[in-house]
Structure formats: C-alpha cells, structure tokens
Structure 1
Amino acid sequence: MSIYRIGEREIEYTLRRSPRAKKASLSVTPQSFELLVPERATEEQINAVLERRRSWIIETVQHMRERARAQTRVYRFVTGAKIPYRGRMTRLTIEPFDGSLAEVSFRNGFQIRKPQHLSPDSTDSIIETALRLWLKRRVRDDARDFIRRHGERHGLKPRGVQIKDQKHMWGSCGQDRQINLNWHLIFAPKPVLEYAVVHEMCHLRHRNHEPEFWDLVGRVLPDWKERKAWLDKNEHLLGWEKVETSV
C-alpha cells in the first residue's frame, strides 16, 4: 500500500501493473484507490497520471466516504432491529431456546433462536456470526443456481464458486476458472446478484471489459445495464456497521 499526499492529507492507494493494461485507470473505495497501469509504465508517467487526476481523486474519495456513512448501523441484534436483505430492510425476531448454537431461518423476516444461557455481552457477537454464516450460504446457493441456469446454455462453466469477504470488489474470475463473489451481494436484490454472477462468468471467455465482453453479458442478461446501475447507485447500502455502545 502506498500513500498519495495532497497537502497535509494522506490517501492510501495501491499501484498495480498489468501486461494487459493499455492505459492507466483508477478505481476508488471509501478509504483508498487503486491505480492500474501498463507493466512498463515509468515513475514519471505514473506521477503524471496522479497529478492529472488530482481533483477527481479528492472529490471521488470524499463522495465515497459520505456514502459509506449512510450504511445501516446496528446497535443491538434484538427483536425489532433491521438489516438489509435482497434490497429491503428486514426485521429480526430473536427468541431464546434450549439449544447450544444460534439458529437462523427466514419467513417474512429473520427468525433467530439463541441459546438462552448466553450472557448479554456475548449475545450480539453470537447472533451476528450466525447471521453472516447463513447469508454467505445463501449467496453460494443462489450463485450455483445462476451458474446452472446460464452456464450450459452459453458455454460458460466455471470450475467452482467461492464466497469471500472482499473489500474492494464485488467479484473476480481467476485464471483457474474459479469465480469469487463478495458475500455482501446478498444485501442487493436477487437480479443484481444474478448480474454479478453472470459478469464473472463472462470473464471466462473475455478477460477484459472490451465491447465483446459486454456483448456477451447482454446476450445472457439483456437488461444488465439496469442491474448494474442499481449496484453502482446503492453499493454503499450493502451491509451493516455494528456500532459498539459504551455502558
């Protein structure tokens, strides 16, 4: 990780060289940005790109931070609390029971049974862990369904799918034909998750984002632009921030 300094302000960024890159490109997250450059780019060329995009970097990082502050905050995992799920805020119902592990189910909201012997200090972390595990399994199952639905028909067959906690991307497709997906996609509407899966499947044939790639995405999902637009607009809402409260 490198530091880009603008006056007294410091912004973390990652410099990545790629033999496939034909020109420099920037991607931004709330806390950092990535600069992708051709493999043989010189330090002088890199510094020139940073200086040329200086205003854009400042404005975009600030905008992303403001959007991140709008993320759902959870103070306690108790009955009546809400978390995002498939594009909607969804209510939690918590009930104690005699079991030893927290159990999660869904029916018009999340039904969570917690061991009644749990102390107040450990209840939140146990419930949050159980919720995360349930949601990650749901993403995996949905992704496999989408791969079965579209893979055979379009000749796009990944080796497998993994669900990860990725900070700076929604998905990736490795050279080993393994698709990786960010589990936070479960917070988006199901058609948006489908778009993310199809996007990575299409990288099995086209490793870049040239017109041929988007043509293939369009053959699989004719309305992909609307789904992508939803993700671009609402990505800051996909998740929750657990706020620790002091006694």
Structure 2
Amino acid sequence: MPTIQIGRAAIAYELRRSATAAERRITVTPGHVEVMALTTDNDGDIAGFLDRKRQWLFNTMRDMERIAASRHAVPRFMTGSKIPYRGRNMPLTVRRTDAERIAITYRNGFIVDLPHWTGVDPDHLVASELKHWLKQRARRDVNEIAADYGKRFGLTPRSIRVADFANGWGSCGPEGSVLINWHLIFAPRKVLEYVVAHELTHLRHRSHGRAFWDYLATIVPSWKASKGWIDSHQSELSSDFLHVTT
C-alpha cells in the first residue's frame, strides 16, 4: 500500500483509478484513506495532487483522531487491567520492587515491576514502558517473519522496519523498502504474517492485480481469513489505550 509522508507520520492510502470520475479526490474514514485518480493520471500527476492536498489531509486526519479519542474512556494501568496482545486481552499485574529500574515480563500476562522511586500515580510510566515493550516485540516478530519468507521464497526487501502509521497496516516503497504498522502486535500472529507477506509480495508484483493475489495465495493460503479479521477489527488495533490523561 503506498504512503504519503507528512512530518513523522507515514499515511498509507489505497489508490483507485476511475474512468468516470470528473476530478481526483481523497476520501478519509476512520482507519482508511482512499485516493481516487483518473485513468489518464501518471505517477507525477498523483504525486502533485497529493502534495497540494498535504495540509488538508494532515488537518483532516488530526481532527478525526481527536473525535475518536473523545469517544473512549482511558483505562488505568493497575493490577487487573487488560492489555490487548496478539488478538487476546491479557491481564496486567503491577508490582512494587526495590529495584532501580522498571521491568516488564510476560508470562501468560504482563507483569510490571515498579521501582521504589515511582510516585503514587505511575500510570504514565507504565503506559510508556508497555508501549516500548510492545513496539520492540513487534519489531522482533516482523523481522522473524520476514526472514522466514526470505529464506523460503526469496522475498528479501531492501530494508524492513516497524513504524507508527496514521492509518494503514503496511507499505512497500518503489525501491523495496517495507514498513509495517507496529499496532499489528495487537492482532493475532497470523494477521501480522499476512500483512508482512502482502508487502513482500509487492517485491514481485507492484499492483494489486490478479498476479499479485495469485502469488500471495501460494505463500499464505489463508490470506482471506486474515484480511477478513483485520477488516472487521481494524478499529481495535490502536495504541489509544496507552495514552493516559491526568
């Protein structure tokens, strides 16, 4: 899926072409950006259009994020809370310790050991450390999956990294650089495998034509089930629960 870079955010979008549209347009819905181009447009036409719409797109995405954030209560990070991880809500246990540094372990749930110097309201610290732990785990999983596909199918990207996406789940640049949304750590492992395979398939087939989907099916036969899961649960794959207000 192509992306447009706005500041530090890589905004993924679905590109569609229309033979009947009178003008180009961008449609933004929660978790999805669609760019409608003309059938006569070349890459330069589309890039110029997106560049002209850059500020509008940034403002629209920001406004939608504010609206979404106002609809959800922010949970607190205490023993008994649930943390989404690989498609399940796992229990959180927060403990005090005399150690100098915070530590997170995972054994059928998250265990956070807080050092003595933390205050009586450690929510911000726990949220920050959980986010860091989850992003690190996402990087590890993505690299493992990509290495496996590289070994079995010869799909080796120029680079692969995990990033924050304003929306979308992955992208493969024209030079073979792959980006994966770290929020996929909240989805089942097979869904993450599907997204990685999807982007690696673009190394062979750039567009979403028949050849693309046929090849993807040879390396991930169950891709339709994983795509269906992500289409149904995409609103849940968010790190909003890690943002704590006072």
Name the TM-score, length of structure 2 as normaliser.
0.73
Alignment partners' CA distance in 1, 2:17 and 2:238: 34
- Give the match's secondary structure for 1:180: strand
State the 1:180 CA deviation: 0.7
C-alpha change, 1:145 and 1:25, in structure 2 (3 Å) is farther
Instruction: Find the counterpart in structure 1 of residue 237 from structure 2.
Output: 238
Matching residue of 1:82? 82
Q: CA deviation at 1:32?
A: 7.6
* AA aligned opposite 1:191: K
| Runs of 5+ consecutive residues of structure 1 not aligned to the other structure | 1-13, 47-63
Aligned residues of 2:78 and 2:93 also touching (Cα < 8 A): yes
Q: Please give the alpha-carbon distance, in whole angstroms, between the structure 1 residues aligned to 2:217 and 2:106.
A: 33
Letter in 2 for 1:92: L
Is it true that 1:155 corresponds to 2:154 in the alignment?
A: yes
Secondary structure of the structure 2 residue equivalent to 1:129: helix
Q: Which residue of 2 aligns with 1:124?
A: 123
How do 1:51-70 residues align onto structure 2 when only pairs under 5 Å count?
none
Partner of 2:142: 143
Distance in 2, Cα, partners of 1:25 & 1:223: 33
Question: How far did 1:74 drift?
Answer: 4.0
Distance 1:32 1:170, change over 3 A: closer
C-alpha contact (below 8 Å) 1:79/1:92 kept by paired residues:
yes
Query: What is the rounded CA distance, in whole Å, between the counterparts of 1:32 and 1:224 in structure 2?
Result: 20
Identical-pair percentage = 39
- Paired with 2:227 and 2:72, the residues of 1 have a C-alpha distance of 21
Higher relative contact order (CA 8 A, sep 6+): 2
- Correspondence 1:97 to 2:111: no
CA apart distance, 1:30: 1.9
Do 1:72 and 1:83's aligned partners in 2 also have CA atoms closer than 8 Å? no
Q: Which position in structure 2 is the counterpart of 1:35?
A: 35
**Structure 2 match to 1:166:** 165
Residues 210 and 26 of structure 1: CA distance in aligned 2, closer, same or farther (over 3 Å): farther
Aligned residue pairs: how many?
Answer: 207
Q: Distance in 2 between matches of 1:154 and 1:32?
A: 30
Q: Mark the CA change 1:35 to 1:113 in structure 2 (over 3 Å): closer, same or farther.
A: same
Give CA deviations for 1:19-56 in whole Å, capped at 9, x if unaligned.
xx6436866432884423143699xxx9xxxxxxxxxx
Contact 1:29–1:168 (8 Å) recurs in 2: no
Q: Give 1:178-217 correspondences, 5 Å limit.
A: 178-217=177-216
> Could you tell me which residue of structure 2 aligns to residue 5 of structure 1?
none
Query: 2: distance between equivalents of 1:96 and 1:142?
Result: 29
Change (3 A) 1:78 1:178: same
Where does residue 108 of structure 2 map in the other structure?
108
1:63-91 residue CA offsets vs partner (Å, 9 max, x unmatched): x99xx68x985421111111211111111
Alpha-carbon separation, structure 2, partners of 1:177 and 1:245: 39
Counterparts of 2:244 and 2:120, CA distance in 1: 13
Take 2:167 and 2:31, find their aligned partners in 1: how far apart are those partners? 10
User: 2:59 aligns to what?
Assistant: none
What TM-score does the superposition give when structure 1 sets the normalisation length? Answer: 0.73
Q: Secondary structure at the match of 1:192?
A: helix
- Unaligned regions of 5+ residues in structure 2, if any? 1-10, 19-23, 50-63
Q: Structure 2 vs 1, CA of residues 72 and 217 (structure 1 numbering), >3 Å: closer, same or farther? A: farther
User: Aligned pair in 2 of structure 1 residues 32, 161: CA closer, same or farther (>3 Å)?
Assistant: closer
CA contact (8 A) 1:159 1:177 kept: yes
